[in-house]
Amino acid sequence: MKACFAETFCFPALLSSRDRAHGRAVHPSRTLTCPLVTTAWVWTELADAMCQSPRRQRFGAFWGLFRREPRAIVVPATDGLFQAGRERYLARGDKEWSLTDCTSFVRMEREGLAEALPADHHFEQAGFVTLLA
């Protein structure tokens, strides 16, 4: 079974019922049976977004839950992935893709992944299928 890529957006949406995308994120999280692949870069971006004191604890608890999930795969941050993502980032100045997006695109291509759980159109622009309608 092919894995799906979990992008930064889906995590805050899952964590907060007040998030405007909560419903869009919860449904696939309950129905998907594929393994979820993400990267340390995605988790860094999430931690940065949750750096305020009370949210920091929620990040830690969520990280613990995610790491115990048998279908969850966190690809470590490597210099090679960072370099390849940075090259994509610099080469595509016509797009508003973040460096994290670009490292995600590279990893998805290397793994042969076609589906992702993002909020924006960037993954579609890069040729991937988005599962959050």
Kindly state the average pLDDT of the residues 48-65: 90
Check residue 130 and give its pLDDT: 86
Nearest to 40 by CA among 81, 68, 91, 83: 81
Check residue 30 and give its pLDDT: 60
Average pLDDT over all residues of the chain: 86
Place 33 in a pLDDT band, splitting at 50, 70 and 90. Answer: confident
- List of domains in the chain: 4-130 (3.40.50.1010)
Distance CA 75, CA 97 (A): 20
Check residue 120 and give its pLDDT: 75
Contact 21, 13 (CB under 8 A): yes
Q: Is the pLDDT of residue 52 over 80?
A: yes
Instruction: Summarize pLDDT for 79-93 with one digit per residue, the tens.
Output: 999 999 999 999 999
